[in-house]
Structure 1
């Protein structure tokens, strides 16, 4: 599964290309990938995306009129790519946007199980969809992390992966963070001293 630093790198790479041209065609979308039906995908056609945003591991592409948000969760095997005009892409993408000028945003997913998801939402619906997530892991800082650790008495590995507490950390990245911070995954969060919390915060942003 892509971890948060990789998702953030994709967000930065997608930001400019996706806002360059209006959407000419929205779709096709695999029936298992598209999670919403109202508003229909065609509502995006003729609109321009404002760029790429991120909330934890979800990528968000709001329209520049502020009326809609395209939300993408790649899960384990989903991948996004921008194809230039005329560039060959997959025959059956899980999801696709075609822009005026011919470039395309393509979502592919390896394997037979379609777990990646695409939602077309209003901003209010997007807020509800993401409302269970805690503060974003990147840039969380030692001060906020101290508050979280003081309020919980849990093993560090479990705490880091709880999306309601800190959003965006998966199993593999939690392992890397704790190794970098030289902390045991079995240590209790409330037992950490100030120096250990500082190391943990630095490891998250390393």
Structure 2
């Protein structure tokens, strides 16, 4: 978190436009503007306010991509849904990895989490990230109204909100990496029941990609 007011003072009616532009440029360039003139931190306020000097937020990922290339490792970023995850909005991931070589750091695209976050806009997210795919993660969910409001609950593959057209579209791309099916629903069971349910999910996946 940082404050740019020391740069701009208080431009009254122009404030919203200027701060929107600053935020857009910070996202585009992966650079955090500093909080100028910060002298004495408050020990009771343990917040990183980027004091006095801006920070290249993409530097760590660039260094990691370079290291991966040197040792022959391909990293993958899995998107998750929810307010606690960087990259839950898929555009965040794109801004962070768009300039990196997918051979070094790419995208483990999770269509379940993407559909939770994007709803009907999941095709937009899929098209945006497709050039970076290193793996595709498959699981399904439905929405249930609970005491805490509407919550996504994982379910057997093919019984929820994930659409078959995702796999149909995937077959038209150049993706040749692995498909990873995840079984995270509560009714999966244990032992023989679990194995039977996993086989059922796999059969549905094979039906969808046939």
TM-score relative to the length of structure 1: 0.25
Name the larger-Rg structure: 2
- The higher-RCO structure (CA 8 Å, 6+ apart) is 1
TM-score relative to the length of structure 2: 0.25
